[in-house]
Amino acid sequence: MSAPILEARGLAKAYRDRRSRSRPGSRWALRGVDLEVRAGETLGVVGQSGAGKSTLARLLLALEEPTAGEVLFRGQAVSGRRSPGLPELRRRVQIVLQDPMGSLDPRMRVGDIVAEPLRALRIPGDHRARVHEMLEAVGLAPGAARRYPHQFSGGQRQRIAIARALAPRPDVLVADEAVSGLDVSVQAQVLNLLSGLIADLGLTTVLISHDLAVIRYLCRRVLVLYQGQVVEAGSTEELYTEPRHPYTRRLLAAVPEMPGRP
């Protein structure tokens, strides 16, 4: 088996408790999470609201530092501002978030939004050409580059966010609730698009969702996160047919069937 591209070892994160002012202790959002993602793999992370999914995503992208444990990209530590692996991680691992209205600057034209990581990462080459290439890849017309995010539907905005994330040619795509908040039919379209792009570009993917049906659609392997810990891990199909942890069984009971799998 190939070496993991992205790895977490004993990852933990504590935040100061926002709910209790009298008791200024810490709340563990994540506790001792280990994971490995290998090249070309699609790994799902599922868990209910507050399970620690977005915290995990931020730590994997080194947007925050862990309280304990570490993240490695291609075997190099990336947790910590001066970590040797950090520049590579910034370019090679990109993220798509839920709520594109919150993550796409409403005052910027779509062309500039998609080109932004190319500029920020000082990637040489014709940025305009790359933007058009990306817009086409996500099924938007070249004219979209001149328009603003509010002129698009929710599904189209998610396509813009995907175009931006893929513009710098990352190896790994992390998608945090990338299709939540979209209508089911639009969800299926965006999932189809993602699945095609993952296959065409040979992307390694970490798909984070509270919705097991979304995970099942794209991911062979899945981790179940519950109160900041991995309580179950294995193949998605196994998890569907023989869930071991009571929490997984509860998650499954809440899953509506998704139409068709790729």
x/- string (CB under 6 A) for ligand ATP, residues 199-228? -----------x------------------
In whole angstroms, how close is the CB of 214 to ligand ATP at the nearest point?
12
Does the footprint of ligand ATP cover residue 31 (CB under 6 A)? no
Per rule CB under 6 A, count of chain residues that contact ligand ATP? 13
In whole angstroms, how close is the CB of 210 to ligand ATP at the nearest point?
5
* Residues whose CB falls within 8 Å of the CB of residue 211, separated by 6 or more in sequence, listed in order: 46, 180, 255
Q: Of 35-74, which residues contact Mg ion (CB under 5 A)?
A: 53-54
Nearer to ligand ATP, 5 or 97 (CB): 97
Does the footprint of ligand ATP cover residue 47 (CB under 6 A)? yes
Dump the DSSP string for the chain. Answer: -PPEEEEEEEEEEEEE-SS-SS---EEEEEEEEEEEEETT-EEEEE--TTSSHHHHHHHHTTSS--SEEEEEETTEE-SSTT-TTHHHHHHHEEEEES-HHHHS-TTS-HHHHHHHHHHHTT--S-HHHHHHHHHHHTT--GGGGGS-GGGS-HHHHHHHHHHHHHTT--SEEEEESTTTTS-HHHHHHHHHHHHHHHHHHT-EEEEEES-HHHHHHH-SEEEEEETTEEEEEEEHHHHHHS--SHHHHHHHHTPPPPS---
In whole angstroms, how close is the CB of 228 to Mg ion at the nearest point?
13
Nearer to Mg ion, 54 or 195 (CB): 54
Choosing among Mg ion, ligand ATP, none, which partner's interface includes residue 155 (Cβ < 5 to 8 Å by kind)? Answer: none
Does the footprint of ligand ATP cover residue 49 (CB under 6 A)? yes
Return the range that interacts with ligand ATP (CB under 6 A); candidates 44-52, 80-88, 118-126, 185-193. 44-52
In whole angstroms, how close is the CB of 26 to ligand ATP at the nearest point?
9
Residues that bind ligand ATP (CB under 6 A): 15, 18, 27, 29, 47, 49-55, 210
Residues that bind Mg ion (CB under 5 A): 53-54
